[in-house]
A and B are shown apart, each in its own frame.
Chain A
Amino acid sequence: MEVCNLPLSPSQRAKLVSAGYTTIFSLSSISPLDLARDLNVSHNEAAQILKIALQSTRFDQSINNNASIVTGGQTAWDMLREEQFITRITTSCEDLDNILGGGINCQEVTEIGGVPGIGKTQMGIQLAVNVQIPLECGGLGGKAIYIDTEGSFMVERVFQIAEACIEDLLESRVFQQQDYQACRERMQPKTFLTNIFYFRVCSYTEQIALINYLEKFITENRDVKIVIIDSITFHFRQDFDDLALRTRVLSGMALKLMKLAKSFSLAIVLLNQVTTKFTEGSFQLTLALGDSWSHACTNRVILYWNGSERFAYLDKSPSLRSASAPYSVTSNLWNDELCHPYLWAHFKRSIMLLGASSWLTHRGSFRSVAV
């Protein structure tokens, strides 16, 4: 192995090469003192270089000796066993959970995209609440990080969803009489809200900075089990002219997110916008940020309208088959029953003043304006 492949700075590399140390082998039997003299650097620096060289020889040898003991590797069998313990976060919609294999996977990056008003932010908020369902109710009892790039996070809505979620949990507990009262006291919408860490990001630089910083933040707050970015797209769509830079920055970000998901075993959910793309003579909808970004996420879910019903489509997953499931956004929960189609209107971003009776009241008072 060549010295050029070591993770050293260019000037250190140049010094090594010009002093005749071209292979790692040539570094293996030299003392830091000699190296410092040969390269004309401080002892400390020489020791650093040797340390880096030593690490890479170890790696090198293990490849030659036995493929199964490469450091950092894991056999497929071990992975299978580990997978059985992967936890999932429910979406509160049974059909959607089914096509996702039980919910949003921890340890994976999931991208959710859809047209404006389809309920992406609702999905994000719902997950931030659902991750906090206590362990004894079959949840994760974790905390959530919500990164808002668009400014569409509505606290009132979080409160509503938290309330509804608690109602739901208590209802299923009613039959078990014991600890009902204790549960009731412990689960307050206030606690749910306290466990959501909200970051408002105003530029793509801040977005990158925050993702770099997350590792430290999560190390300090170990019980964070989900990171939601709403949306990954916004700043990258507004102020980027250099598309090559955009791709590079985005893929760097995707790698860091995947690493986070694995090392802290938490779920990462990225919300994405859609754009139109001209293919085969017609306009088609597709998720934003281009083709190379599509490779970045492990799972991809597309939310779409089918007539007047909302559907979710699992577009990409390494282990599950593509499938669709209907869902709806209601005043209380993101779930599979359709009720009060107009109450959630605000949160759906689009208010369709269509429902007959409600329309009439609006209409009536509106007329009085226009007299």
Chain B
Amino acid sequence: MANKKIADMGLPKSIANLFAARNILTAKDALSLTEFELMELLDVGLAQVISAVAHISEITCPPFQTAHSLMEERHHNEHLAGHLPTQLKGLDEALCGGIPFGALTELVGPPGIGKTQFCLKLALLAALPINHGGLNGRVIYIDIESKFSSKRMIEIGAKSFPEIFRLEGMAKEMAGRILVLRPASLSEFTESLQQIQLSVLQNQVKLIIVDSIAGLVSGEHEREAPRQHSLGWHISFLKSLAEFSRIPVVVTNQVRSQSCGDAMYSFQVQNEHEIVKDPERLELHLVAALGIHWAHAVTTRLVLEASSG
């Protein structure tokens, strides 16, 4: 809606022409200016500018829905009210039924904890027929660290769903639904995301997995700032992809160790000396990689940890 042409908004002819003459063509151009800037640029009175801006705003602004109609819609149109069950009882309960559609779910954990195994299982689940608790769709698996193993996946399938995998040709069909992409660099990754956008709806893609997004940037950027910036686009793209195609998107993230306590607000710092005395705070502890900007964009974060003992 932001790039909607002002010419098509049904403003009075005279003022629409003025906008066109000043090269203010889209709603985005017009609304980035203040009313007084517009007065100067268009050379018309305040009252006219205000009514024009109000008109443009009304057309540009998205429609509303009540929360109730939103819920009805989800319950009617979607299998299991928009969740992909993980078939782990406790986890499904905590997640209200499984990995949510239309949202970004992140798996965080130390190396070897089983993030990739979890992803393989999810990929299988999404490919399974509906009567076995799956979504009966295709899966796009973006495997950045080259960890995807078809052999392992079939093994998991055969163990967890013997009744399906014993059938002739089923293993082939299930595995055939999972498309693995292996982008070697950030730019290739960007490219494949753009391609995916087009094919998701046409090809019944029901799940997108990115394993692991941190691997892609840790090699390319040394410093913190460009890393945050370069991934900002990817995360919001993945998020909107999830939302508008109403499918779950799962990404994995690595952990890194941090030596001292978390960053704090300035009002907390006054008490900092007390906290530092606490010996536990000085130990190394693990935090999710990719920083705070990334974490804000994630809808659900699952932390995998090994319990001691």
Binary flags per residue of B19-44, CB closer than 8 Å to A gives 1, else 0: 00000000110011010000110111
B198 at the interface (CB under 8 A from A): no
Binds B, one of A62-70, A87-95, A192-200: A192-200
Which positions 279-336 of chain A face chain B at CB distance < 8 Å? 279, 282-286, 302, 304-306, 313, 315, 322
Q: Which of B143-151, B164-172, B214-222, B257-265 contacts A (4 or more CB under 8 A)?
A: B257-265
Contact between chains at B159 and A252 (CB < 8 Å): no
Residue of B nearest to A369 (CB): B121
Which of A212, A273, A276, A349 touches B53 (beta carbons < 8 Å)? A212
Q: Is the CB of B159 within 8 A of A205?
A: no
Residue A115 lies at the interface, judged by CB distance under 8 Å to chain B? yes
If A193-B66, A209-B56, A213-B57 touch, does A12 touch B295 (CB 8 Å cutoff)? no
**When the two chains form their complex, are residues A365 and B2 in contact, meaning their CB atoms are under 8 A apart?**
no
Tell me if B179 is interfacial: C-beta within 8 Å of chain A.
no
Q: Does B111 contact A (CB under 8 A)?
A: no
Bound-state Cα–Cα, A346 to B65, Å: 24
A116, B296: Cβ atoms under 8 Å?
A: yes
CB distance from B291 to the nearest CB of A (A): 8
**Among candidates B114, B242, B265, B303, residue contacting A304 with C-beta atoms closer than 8 Å:** B265
In the complex, how many angstroms separate the beta carbon of B55 from the nearest chain A beta carbon? Answer: 10
Q: Which of A48, A206, A273, A282 contacts B45 (CB 8 A)?
A: A48
Residues on the A chain within 8 Å of B54, using CB: 212-213, 216
Q: Are A354 and B305 in contact (CB under 8 A)?
A: yes
Stretch at the interface among B130-138, B183-191, B266-274: B266-274
Which chain B residues lie closer than 8 Å to A368 at the CB level? Answer: 159-160
Q: Is the CB of A349 within 8 A of B301?
A: yes
- Which residues from chain A contact B117 at a C-beta distance below 8 Å? 369-370
Main secondary structure of the interface of B (DSSP, over half): helix
Residues of B within 8 A of A213 (CB): 54, 57-58, 61
The stretch of A19-27, A150-158, A163-171 that contacts the partner chain: A150-158
Q: Are A206 and B62 within 8 A (Cβ)?
A: yes
* Interface status of B236 (Cβ within 8 A of chain A): yes
User: Which A residues are in CB contact (< 8 Å) with B66?
Assistant: 193-198
Q: Is B256 an interface residue (CB 8 A)?
A: no
A264 at the interface (CB under 8 A from B): no
| Contact between B67 and A196, CB atoms less than 8 A apart | yes
CB-contact partner of A285 in B45, B58, B65, B263, under 8 A: B263
Q: Are A365 and B89 in contact (CB under 8 A)?
A: yes
Distance, CA A12 to CA B296, complexed state (A): 49
Residue A371 CB within 8 A of the other chain: yes
Are A351 and B303 closer than 8 Å at their CB atoms? yes
| B88 → A minimal CB distance (Å) | 4
B46-60, CB < 8 A from A:
46, 53-54, 56-60
Are the C-beta atoms of B68 and A245 separated by less than 8 Å? no
A193-B67, A196-B67, A199-B61 known; A9-B266 Cβ under 8 A: no
Q: A206-B1, A252-B34, A302-B265 are in contact. Are A350 and B303 (CB under 8 A)?
A: yes
Known: A200-B62, A209-B56, A285-B265. A238 touches B233 (CB 8 A): yes
Which of A117, A209, A302 is the one whose CB lies under 8 Å from B27? A209
B248 on interface, CB distance cutoff 8 Å:
no
Contact A313 B293 (CB under 8 A): no
Measured between alpha carbons, how far is A322 from B270 in the docked complex, in Å? Answer: 14
Are B2 and A206 neighbours in the complex by a CB distance under 8 Å?
yes
A205→B71 contact, CB < 8 A: no
Q: How far is the CA of A205 from the CA of B42 in the complex (A)?
A: 20
Residues in B neighbouring A342, C-beta threshold 8 A: 94
Residues of A within 8 A of B243 (CB): 151
Between B90, B117, B242, the greatest number of chain A beta carbons within 10 A of the residue's beta carbon is seen for B90
Query: What 0/1 pattern do residues 1 to 29 of A give for CB contact below 8 A with B?
Result: 00000011111100000000000000000
- Sample (16) of A-B pairs whose CB atoms are under 8 Å apart: A115-B292, A116-B295, A146-B67, A156-B71, A212-B31, A217-B64, A273-B292, A284-B266, A285-B263, A285-B265, A304-B265, A306-B268, A351-B302, A353-B304, A363-B307, A369-B159
5 closest A-B pairs by CB: A212-B57, A205-B2, A193-B68, A209-B60, A116-B295
Since A213-B58, A286-B266 are in contact, a sample of 13 more A-B pairs with Cβ atoms closer than 8 Å, ordered by chain A residue number, is A7-B39, A151-B239, A152-B103, A195-B66, A202-B240, A205-B28, A205-B31, A212-B61, A350-B301, A351-B95, A351-B301, A353-B305, A358-B90
